[in-house]
Amino acid sequence: MSNITPRPQALTTIVATEQHLPIIASLARDIWNLYYPSIISQAQIDYMLSQRYTAQALKRSLDKKGATILLAQIGPMAIGYAM
């Protein structure tokens, strides 16, 4: 038996491209539905997700001059985003 502990993978961020938008939309659904129900109604969460966090809405945001969306990853797993 080895006493070697696997090295944890580092957190990295990348600049999101159009191919990452479905991943970000999925993260947004998970995050909003996990953290916001105690703050705002489910109807408001659903509205925000439909208006700002679909792949199409994210594409419109990304297309704005100077806009950047960052995708946070640990190894190959996407864990968050910043707009």
Mean pLDDT score across all residues of the chain: 94
pLDDT at 12: 96
- Asked whether residue 2 carries a pLDDT value surpassing 70, the answer given is no
Burial 31-59 (b: 16+ CB within 10 A, else e): ebeeeeeeeeeeeebeeebeeebbeebbe
65 vs 68: which has the higher pLDDT: 68
**Among residues of the chain, what percentage have pLDDT more than 90?**
87
Structure-token match 């659904």, residue found = 29
- Asked whether residue 1 carries a pLDDT value surpassing 70, the answer given is no
Mean pLDDT to the nearest integer, 37-56: 97
CB 33 within 8 A of CB 47: no
Strand duo 77-82 + 11-15: pairing: unpaired
How much is the pTM?
0.85
Q: d(Cα 83, Cα 71) in Å, to the nearest integer?
A: 9
Mean pLDDT to the nearest integer, 40-54: 98
